[in-house]
Amino acid sequence: MSTEALGASESPASAAPSPAASRRLRTDRVLGIALPVVSVLLALVAWELISRSGLISQRDLPAMSTAFRELWSMMTTQGFWGAYWETVRGWLIGIVLATLLAVPIGIILGSSDFLGSAFRVPIEFLRPIPSAALIPVLFLTIGSTLRSEIFLATFGAFWPLLVQTIYGVRDVDPLTTDTGRSFGLGRNERLLRITLPSAVPYIWTGLRIASSIALILAFTAELFMGTGGLGQRMNVADSFGLTSQVYALALAVGFLGIGIHLVLSALEKRILHWHPSQRSVAS
């Protein structure tokens, strides 16, 4: 979208653009849509050819058409959609729990200088710990259940959200807070009307990072711990050597990732429409 904004600002700002300029603008727009489509089609054809020609044997890389046919036949089964939902559920519960925990804690740690420095070291230490390292402990304690998957997704998603919330709260313009104070806004009201809104863009960035981490961890839990979902299906398909099923599942997971990304971008536009980063530059 920013590409289009750039293209628009390149055009002359006068009321009536010359015919040549408007023709160029139209070609630009058509190319902007056509090139990505062509590029995807080319890649798919290349995949098909690499596999059919035997450059990489079909046993290792099933042809594109085979993988998509496999995906299509999976999509007609109820089990596939059940597994799909289980993965989405793990991701969703994880991200919601992480938000409910991280945002209030982040606001407290961010608005208190004292608490912020008291917990700085533990946070800095826990944050980069790869949550996947906790899988063995979860095996021992909670076992291969949905709760393990949710714990893992929540734990992974918690840290980026927490850190972004702390940054966001610290970055509130002190002038606005002081203005609010001199207008007699109470502590809670300042929090609700000033601190939280100005921290929202930061929190949103944290949410985007957290969302992809939660998906990774939900899938990882399914792959390694055998909690139900697409990851578990992939593990089963892989152990039986059903390569085309593994590819079809990978395609499905990729589409899930893209879908989540698109939903979040659409939400971002609605929630942050007031924020300067979302406004296109007025010419």
Partner 1 sequence: MTPRTYRTLKIAAEIVVPIAILLAWQLWTVHADNPNFPRLSTILVEFRDMWLFSDFGTDVVPSLKRIALGFGIATVLGVGLGIPLGMSRWTRSLAMPHVEYWRAMPPPALLPISIVLLHSIGDVQKVSFIAFFCLFPILLNTMDGVRAIDPTLIDTARSFNVSRWERIRRLVFPAALPQISAGMRTSLSLAVIIMVVSEYFSSTSGVGFVLLNSKNTFQFTPMWAAILLIGLLGYLLNVLFMLAERRILAWHRGWRAATPQ
Q: Note whether 1 binds partner 1 by CB under 8 A.
A: no
Nearer to partner 1, 32 or 186 (CB): 32
Count of residues that bind partner 1 according to CB under 8 A: 61
> What are the strands, taking DSSP E only, across 133-270?
none
Q: Which of residues 14-73 bind partner 1 (CB under 8 A)?
A: 31-32, 35-36, 38-40, 43, 56, 60-61
Separation between Cα atoms, residue 184 and residue 200, nearest integer Å: 23
Q: Which of residues 147-186 bind partner 1 (CB under 8 A)?
A: none
Residue whose token pair is 């890649």: 43
Residue 194 DSSP symbol: I
CA distances from 19 to 11, 22, 23, 32, 105 (A): 12, 5, 6, 20, 58
Q: 185, 196 in Cβ contact below 8 A?
A: no
Query: What is the closest distance, in whole angstroms, from the C-beta atom of residue 133 to partner 1 in the complex?
Result: 4
Separation between Cα atoms, residue 9 and residue 104, nearest integer Å: 41
Query: What is the closest distance, in whole angstroms, from the C-beta atom of residue 260 to partner 1 in the complex?
Result: 7
Q: Which of residues 111-140 bind partner 1 (CB under 8 A)?
A: 113-114, 117-122, 124-126, 128-137, 139-140
Query: What is the closest distance, in whole angstroms, from the C-beta atom of residue 29 to partner 1 in the complex?
Result: 11
The correct pick among 103, 163, 203, 249 for binding partner 1 (CB under 8 A) is: 249
Q: 75, 256 in Cβ contact below 8 A?
A: no
Q: Note whether 280 binds partner 1 by CB under 8 A.
A: no
